[in-house]
Amino acid sequence: MSPTIKAPLLPNQEPSLSSSESHGSFAGAVFNISTSIVGAGIMSIPAAFKVLGVIPSLSIIVIIAWLSNVSAGFLMKSTLVGESTTYAGVMKDSFGKPGAVAVTIVSMVVTFGSMIIFSIIIGDVLSGNEKDGIVHLGLLQEWFGSHWWNTRFFGLLFIFVFLFFPLVLCRRVERLALSSAISFLLALLFVVISSVLAIVAIVQGKTKTPRLFPDLNDGGLSFFSLFTASPVIVTAFTFHFNVHPVGFELKDPLDVLSATRVSVILCATIYSATGLFCYLLFGDSTMTDVLMNFDQSTNSSIGSLLNDIVRVSYAIHLMLVFPLLNFSLRANLDELLFPMKRSLVEDNKRFFGLTFPLLISCFLGAIAIPDIWYFFQFLGSTSTVTIAFIFPAAIVLRNVNGFSTLREKIVASVMLVLAVATSIIAISTNIYTFTATEEI
């Protein structure tokens, strides 16, 4: 039996409310967590397949999915044996105030970085981008021609003002369950259409020959480049910043572990299918944002229509995921800046004072940053690996409440060593690659 939760994350509801209004549903929790997982990361999974090869990519997806589920369990178990109800609270119990501040800052970096990545991809879909001297037209240019109003700046400005702003005004995460469900179904539509296009290409003999294993003919640098692709998959499975907000809106917070398990299995299946089928479709021409590959012209109107549906459906998916990440970012920033203040949902001045600057900063970041691949590598090898694996493992090993079993300590130790070692190699390789490119 789990310990009694003494400090709810959100303000208590009035006694007159029914249980369905007071607590979130299990289905809503599954959709919210699944939507937190299947974000922009799926767009770079096919590129990871190109770098790693099919078999290592599928293996890494399974391993990271399992580790993500285990680390989420670590977090909730350590939460329920103490008195905290947030990720930062658990870190404070284990490592004092510095631990709480550290996890809050890292969570903010992950969520804010992810929101910028989402916005970059949406900008690519709507207004196109240029990669290696090749111009990829966006949907707005293809449909209406090139005009000032469908440039990247104005396209994103419209989305931020008329879509993102109303959605980020939601003050309870459960109210985003419907948009999360729609978003997740759109992600499934993307996977289904990509799979159909790949199967048709297989039947017609037009698929590319995939590499089962990575190409290491270039020597040591090629080997170490494998460690820069792995963080992309780590980033795609980072949802831990939303485990507590979702869990403590359920009647029994432990139910979030079952919801997490279901979500991780669903998302691992989606990632595997997307990576494999898109890699079959585009081969070595697979781009870091695979949606840009779908601007290719086809020999049939049906093929062109499917390409447009793929891009539109996933762009809408990201638009609906955005407010879920904003919810976590705003809550963490409020906890960092105003730890002793009353609940954010009850303070309009503070609520809007945080919401507007975050939205504006994200918009400016999306305009300034052109490519998502390096952003994914940076997040995956630093902040996401920290929040998904390093912090949960450290909490288990610290074991301030005496809840950790021997098996959990062994798993946490392995998780910690793998996370730190992979992160160091990935960061070193990224720095070396960037330096070599600058010298050329």
Q: What is the residue-level pLDDT of the chain in tens, covering all 440 positions?
A: 334 333 343 334 443 444 444 567 888 888 888 877 876 667 778 888 888 888 988 999 999 999 999 999 998 888 888 777 888 888 988 899 899 899 889 888 888 888 888 898 888 888 877 666 667 778 888 888 888 888 889 999 999 999 899 888 877 766 667 777 787 788 788 888 888 888 888 888 777 778 888 776 654 445 666 666 777 788 788 888 778 888 887 888 888 888 999 999 998 998 998 889 888 888 888 877 787 777 665 555 666 787 788 888 878 888 888 887 888 789 888 888 887 777 777 788 899 999 999 999 999 988 887 666 666 666 666 788 888 899 999 999 998 888 888 999 999 999 999 888 878 877 776 676 666 555 55
- Which pLDDT belongs to residue 217? 66
Burial of residue 396, with CB atoms counted within 10 A of its CB: 0-12 exposed, 13-18 middle, 19 or more buried? buried
| Strands (DSSP E) found in 85-235 | 129-131, 134-136
- Which pLDDT belongs to residue 261? 92
| Strands (DSSP E) found in 90-181 | 129-131, 134-136
**Integer Cα distance of 139 and 346 in angstroms:** 41
- Which pLDDT belongs to residue 148? 85
Residue pair 88/391 in contact (Cβ under 8 Å)? The answer is no
| Strands (DSSP E) found in 284-355 | none
- Which pLDDT belongs to residue 356? 93
pTM: 0.76
The count of C-alpha atoms lying within 13 angstroms of the C-alpha of 91, restricted to the half-sphere facing its C-beta, is 22
Question: For the chain, how far is it from start to end, CA to CA, in angstroms?
Answer: 62
108 — alpha (psi -120 to 50), left (phi > 0) or beta? alpha
**152 Cβ partners below 8 Å, 6+ apart?**
123, 126, 127, 128, 129, 367
Other Cβ atoms closer than 10 A to 330: 22
